[in-house]
Structure 1
Amino acid sequence: MAGTGLGKTIAIAELEYDLVIRQGARVAHMGFEDTRRDVQIRLLSIHISDRLDIEPKPDDAMRAIHGEVFGAGNVWLFDPETAEWTVEVILSYVRYCAKALDAQIILIDPMSFIAAGLSAGDDERRTLDKVSRDLAALEKELGVHLQVTHHLTRPEGTAHEEGAQTSLNQVRGSGGIANFATYVIGHERNQQAEDPDQSLIMRLRL
């Protein structure tokens, strides 16, 4: 969990890369904020330690890098542009990833976007409580690991984007997300720091 723009998605990508490339894990990535191409470019950039979104390589080089990361077929990417976002369907996606694709780890980035699929009049807190419970039950039933990112509410005083300390009572929309999680990791960074080096330092709070 973190404030907006503090690096939740990048952190997920770094974990995903380590799991897939260094550990050979089978990972399904459900990214709601990015296209599949965004996710691919991010992982390829981590692989070569270069920003391919800014300076792409020639086609032959890109194909070679892509094969090194995705050639083993251990990564499945959710398509947010065509997929349905309702709660029931997202839960069915998780089951499909585990049963049909044999994924060991499923990434949901961010959980907040599930609220975008709610119907008018739905109670966001109650719905996210139920989704959190259902995901926890699915995780146990299917024997998979779910890694979820989520947003925080704005604290009083210093904003999270200015380095405010994270807290479980700041979980946006639902305390159930924290209650059903095995671990909750808060990302803290002052992206407004006058010293550019200080703005890059991330503190993790477990």
Structure 2
Amino acid sequence: MTGILIKIFTLFLECPIIGTLLLYILKGNNLIHMLITNADLEESPLYVPLHHFKDIEEKEVESLDSSLSPPEKVAERFITAVDESGKPPIQMGFFIHYNGDDILRQANESTMRYQKGKPISVLDGNLVAIKDEIDCLPYPTTGGTKWLHNERHCTDDACCVKHLRLCGAVLFGKTNMHELGSGTRRINPHYRVLSLNWTVGMVGIPAGTVEDALIT
């Protein structure tokens, strides 16, 4: 469901009476009543793991203030990696929008602060991607759609993004997402599918979120 259809659907869903009835029907069609509302659990859910586990030994990493890994060099490598991941055979749609020149400008400013010994905070120079449902200049906010940014223009950073900028974080761009967050499979017909790293090229096994795809 996209475009005008989702607009009409949202209009009905937000109506006080029709919306309540429609929501009840949708829950029934998706087995929410049977599996959740009226579910008869034989035993209580397990919220805490009972098995013993061992923490993974921490590995030392180079600090951003090191001459071997300044923010500018880290940003350049990441841009290259993202560019390559969008080409065959991987073709991953991690980002809906990102601007290499803007990223390198931020990273260069951070590198200069480190060279002067005056980083703003521990976040200074760290790459941070913003989900495309949060305003972040100079990018439009699409919400994973092809029409939202035309109806609602991004004119300023969201509050959380402003604070990240004040801390010196390098804002990398807007990450891919399901249209208006209306699903969990990350199959976006406009901005490509996100696969887990061990299922690249396999149809129907995408990552649940951009974070899943990036981390794994």
Instruction: Give the TM-score normalised by the residue count of structure 1.
Output: 0.24
Query: Going by fraction, where is helix more abundant, 1 or 2?
Result: 1
Larger RCO (CA within 8 A; separation ≥ 6) = 1
**Rg (Cα) greater in structure:** 2
Instruction: Give the TM-score normalised by the residue count of structure 2.
Output: 0.23
